[in-house]
């Protein structure tokens, strides 16, 4: 069990090395790129006005499938213990228990055009991305590219995301709540600093420009190797 947990918490690129030890020098991990010119910061008041949201609400969004593997059980509990906040969950609902929550502070939207998610990210104070799986998906990176910090589980997928805009929590509702309370207790200036730090991280880590240049350099180095598998 200990070995399984160690493996589960490894960054994605380290897992590949375990299965392909014969090609360590030719193995590189590149995340799918984020268009930082598209997923950009917009004035929060303007974003909320366009979406018909209250300018004074504390808004938390989640974008992606609503299912157990994506932490729907934790999301449900967080909604129940935060009646003072507005939750907007966008994505196909695969956990019927989410529909049974009788709460005026939860809005479920099964689909919005991809372009519109930018408005929701910017309208929110905070986003949740409680996937239990080990991958490096888009939503949490899109969120911080728009300047909105995100709470994620502390799993291997997010080990490389070293920025205060990615708030890592344990698999525990109380710890998630502690992170939420901690964020909303910050001053506006502190929130702005975290927001800018997250966007700067994405620009350096997985913007289209950065990933393109890395891919070109790696491919050129690979093609110049007469026998790259030795």
Q: How confident is the model over 176-227, as pLDDT tens digits?
A: 999 999 999 999 999 999 999 999 999 998 888 888 887 787 777 755 554 4
3-state secondary structure of 55: coil
- Write down the pTM of the prediction: 0.83
Residues in the chain: 230
C-alpha 124: how far from chain center: 13
A 10 A CB-CB count for 161 gives 22
Strand-pair partners of 152: 129, 168
Q: How confident is the model over 219-230, as pLDDT tens digits?
A: 777 555 544 434
């Amino acid at each position: 069990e200990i070995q399984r947990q160690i493996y589960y918490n490894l960054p994605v690129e380290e897992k590949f090395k375990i299965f392909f030890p014969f090609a360590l020098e030719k193995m590189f991990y590149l995340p799918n790129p984020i268009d930082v010119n598209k997923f950009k910061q917009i004035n929060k008041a303007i974003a909320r006005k366009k979406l018909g949201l209250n300018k004074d609400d504390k808004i938390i969004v989640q974008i992606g499938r609503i299912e157990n593997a994506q932490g729907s059980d934790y999301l449900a509990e967080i909604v129940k213990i935060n009646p003072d906040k507005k939750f907007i969950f966008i994505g196909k609902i695969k956990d019927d228990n989410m529909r049974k929550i009788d709460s005026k502070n939860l809005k479920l939207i099964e689909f919005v055009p991809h372009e519109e998610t930018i408005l929701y990210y910017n309208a929110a104070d905070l986003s949740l991305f409680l996937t239990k799986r080990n991958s490096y998906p888009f939503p949490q990176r899109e969120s911080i590219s728009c300047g909105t910090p995100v709470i994620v589980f502390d799993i291997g997928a997010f080990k490389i995301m070293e920025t205060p805009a990615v708030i890592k929590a344990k698999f525990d509702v109380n710890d998630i709540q502690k992170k939420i309370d901690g964020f909303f207790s910050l001053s506006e200036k502190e929130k702005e600093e975290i927001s800018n730090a997250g966007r700067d991280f994405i620009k350096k880590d997985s913007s289209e420009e950065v990933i393109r240049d890395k891919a070109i350099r790696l491919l050129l180095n690979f093609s110049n190797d007469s026998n790259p598998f030795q």
